[in-house]
Structure 1
Amino acid sequence: MKLIEEEWKHKITAVALRSAKETKRNQQVLLPTTADLVKLKDYLDAELHDATKVLKNCVNMENFQKLSSVILCRVMMLNRRRSGETSKILLQDFEKRPNWQLGHNTEIINSMPLTEQQLVKRLDMIEIRGKRGRNVSLIMTPDIKESIQVLNQKRHQVGISETNGYLFPRGNGDGHIEGHVAMRSFASKAELEYPERVGSTNMRKYIATVTQMMNLNDGELEWLSNHLGHSINVHREYYRNQESAIELGKVAKMLLAVDAGNALADVRKRDVDVAIDESGSEQELEDDGIGEIAVEVAMEGGQDVGEPDARFDKTQIDQPRKKKASKTSTKIAWTTEETEAIQKLFKKNYNLRQVPNKKECDLAKQKEPALYRRDWKSIKYKVYNDIQRLKKT
């Protein structure tokens, strides 16, 4: 036993880890394409509507199983949940879910943008048992919830056993529908370009990879990781793949700039922790639009994620940059009225320690007349500097 304790980590564990890493080296991870996921989502939405209508009019086991499979796949796809977890949702988890609207913190709700407030009112949620016994959440849209209610109303009419406690029961016995089998079947029927890439694990890796381009802060990344049912470290190490396009585009751009001697001119660190001129004369804190990539790009746009960066092109790498004439700007002190307006409009940003983007700054300027003489960069720099001061307190 002593020999095992002393040599196990060196002769077994280390070798196993090294072998696993060597196996993954130069192995391309083929994730689902955005176009395929959008097509599958539209297909499942149409099937959900039709199957719900059919079961209402004609109650039999075949129609019941069809609707059950559609709902299972739609929930799995929306929440990027593991197929095993979704398949094993219990009927009591759905029926005994609380009325979340009664327990919401009004202060938190009011700090959210209007879009998020509407989502809180419109969507429902249930908590289920996830991997290693942890509680994980499932979000349901109104049409999914309605279809589940229809399913539950008809389960006894089609002969589902009283002892079967699963929300998505199999026709005979006490088992449940297998999520990966149902997903594979619908992926094939939806006539996708790459149906073999669609599965719960690959969809989880897809959202983890795509959200790299959304530039999530630590708080948002933690929320996403908790929803997916794993820690941030697992999210970064095992699910988030360094997409080859990111490596060849973003990283290669920086390396080529350094190689051409334009590093100081072309490579800029995002959100540099330095004092920034709130008049808008400095350019350290740039808004390159990455933070504004919306979720619908990944789910509804059907286009590749990421935009060409206008700051870097071939001419910038091959030719020396021309020096721009220095600009002079007059600093305008922030009045008490302006400061109060900023603190009111960006209350959420201060709480989350999150710098607003251009769209948020422009919207704030439209809402508050006191900010008429400020451009969006000045507003952004003001919030940024305030956040840096809050971090130091």
Structure 2
Amino acid sequence: MAGDRDAEKKLKNFIKLIDSHWRTNISSQALNTLQQSKRNKGDTIPLTEDVVALQKHLKSVEQVSKDKLKENVNGPDWKILAETLLCQVILFNRRREGEASKLLLASYMNRNVKPPNEDVVKSLTKLERELCSELTRLEIRGKRGKKVPVLLTKDMVESMDVLNESRSKVGIDKANPYVFARVGALTHIRGSDCLRKFSNACGAKDPWSITSTKLRKQIATLSQIMNLKNNELDQLAKFLGHDIRVHREYYRLSENTIQLAKISKLLLCLEKGSDCYKGKSLEELTFNTEETENDTIPNSRGLQEQECQTTEEGQY
């Protein structure tokens, strides 16, 4: 008993010591060390050519695995298709890997497939109207429980449908709620592992720079090169799931239409690897759709060969 009291006294004295000296002797010193390590250290963001190389590699692997899965349903090809599709969702939307990885099957099945309001559509450009018809938008759980949007191309939707149709045949547990489910478990595939795997496989010059965090930094950095208006910065921040601390009073279209028609233009431009965004606002950013066969977006194998051009005044 005497030993217990002695130990208790020592513990209380230790707690008092921590309370009185932690902030000055430990916490502040640790913060200074972190700050010093970050000084004069370049903040690496992915190279555009690396992102384009990864995107092309993902599309190639996705198509092969999807064709194989349609011919013969099997676990290995299902997993490869799920991994490539997860990477494309992260890459295209610049979503946090944890958010995309946890995409629920219920969220996908209950996505909004209704066309945008006709009056709103009339205010959009031809390209923006095409994007609204080509892309699908759904909402998932983001950081701190906030709902964040995800845009899917027609190719992504087709691949997800193939995955969902063959879930039970490859051994996905019925109780597993995730689209990117792991075979024989109730958990999901990790997006960070998939990005690392395919970044190394695609021949990127700096594969370690291709992470979901750095991809988000890339779009935030490039948005500074563009001549975005205040409301456009708000739209981009909201799409990325960032907090908007100061509410600005201005006319807004519906979030669904903004993200389908306007933010998607920037995402597609980044995917194409073009520098067409420099010095332009979202309104000025457009593509030459007349040179494509079917006037479709890149993931429908049309717009990737298009060039960006500045919209003439009065077009909008």
Task: Give me the TM-score of the superposition, normalised by structure 1.
Answer: 0.59
SS at match of 1:107: helix
Within the candidate set 26, 32, 40, 1:26 is matched to 40
Q: Secondary structure at the match of 1:191?
A: coil
Give yes or no for the alignment of 1:298 onto 2:270: yes
Identity of aligned residues (%): 34
Instruction: Measure, in 1, the Cα distance between the counterparts of 2:92 and 2:114.
Output: 19
* Paired letter, 1:298: L
Does residue 131 in structure 1 map to residue 83 in structure 2? no
Kindly indicate whether the alpha-carbon contact (under 8 Å) linking 1:187 and 1:195 is maintained by their aligned counterparts in 2: yes
Q: 1:218-242: per-residue Cα shift (whole Å, max 9, x none)?
A: 2111111111111246xxxxxxxxx
Whether the 8 Å CA contact 2:62–2:80 is kept in 1: the answer is: no
Equivalent position of 1:60 in the other structure: 74
After TM superposition, give the deviation of residue 294 of structure 1 in Å.
6.5
Partner of residue 79, structure 1: 93
Change (3 A) 1:158 1:303: same
How big is the shift at 1:69?
0.5
2:210 aligned partner: 198
Cα deviation, residue 114, structure 1: 1.3
Verify: 1:211 aligned to 2:183, yes or no: no
Calculate the aligned-residue CA RMSD, in Å. 3.1
Alpha-carbon distance in 1 for matches of 2:75, 2:101 = 18
Query: 1 or 2 for the larger relative contact order (CA 8 Å, sep ≥6)?
Result: 2
The CA distance in 1 between the partners of 2:40 and 2:147, in whole Å, is 36
Aligned residue number for residue 312 of structure 2: 360
* Structure 1 residue ranges without an equivalent (≥5): 234-292, 308-347, 350-356, 365-393
Residues 298-345 of structure 1: per-residue CA shift (max 9 Å, x gap)? 3324669859xxxxxxxxxxxxxxxxxxxxxxxxxxxxxxxxxxxxxx
User: Alignment partner for residue 122 of structure 1, among 134, 141, 144?
Assistant: 134
Which range is displaced more, 18-27 or 150-159? Answer: 18-27
Alpha-carbon distance, 1:14 to partner: 6.4
Matched, 1:44 2:16: no
- In the TM superposition, what is the alpha-carbon distance from 1:107 to its structure 2 partner? 2.5
Change (3 A) 1:20 1:108: farther
Instruction: Report the Cα offset of residue 112 of structure 1.
Output: 1.4
Q: After superposition, give the CA deviation of every residue in 1:45-82 in whole Å (9 maximum; x if it has no partner).
A: 12222221111101011111111111100111000011
| Partner residue, 1:259 | none
5+ residue gaps in structure 2?
1-14, 246-264, 285-308
Q: Which residue of 1 aligns with 2:233?
A: 221
Deviation string 1:169-199 (CA, Å, 9 cap, x unpaired) is 1112111111110111111111111111111
Q: How does 1:176-195 map to 2 (within 5 A)?
A: 176-195=188-207
Question: Alignment partner for residue 96 of structure 1, among 110, 113, 122?
Answer: 110
User: Using a 3 Å threshold, how does the CA distance of structure 1 residues 23 and 150 change in structure 2: closer, same or farther?
Assistant: same
Give me the whole-angstrom Cα distance separating, in 2, the residues matched to 1:62 and 1:299.
Answer: 28
Looking at structure 2, the residues matched to 84 and 76 of structure 1 have their Cα atoms a distance apart, in angstroms, of 9
Q: Alignment partner of 1:136: what SS?
A: strand
SS state at 2:169 partner: coil
Question: Given that residues 142 and 148 in structure 2 are in contact (C-alpha distance below 8 angstroms), is that contact kept between their aligned partners in structure 1?
Answer: yes
Q: Which has the larger radius of gyration?
A: 1
Matches within 5 A, 1:228-307: 228-232=240-244, 298-301=270-273
Q: Structure 1: how far apart are the matches of 2:72 and 2:139?
A: 31
Report the AA paired with residue 145 of structure 2. G
The aligned amino acid for 2:154 is: P
Shift of 1:106: 2.5
Task: State yes or no: 1:172 paired with 2:172.
Answer: no
Q: Counterparts of 1:109 and 1:215 in 2: how far apart (Å)?
A: 24
Change (3 A) 1:12 1:100: farther
Distance 1:304 1:185, change over 3 A: farther
Deviates more, 1:49-58 or 1:150-159: 49-58
Write the mapping of 1:293-372 to structure 2, written as runs, cut at 5 A. Answer: 298-301=270-273, 359-361=311-313, 363=315
Aligned residues: 256
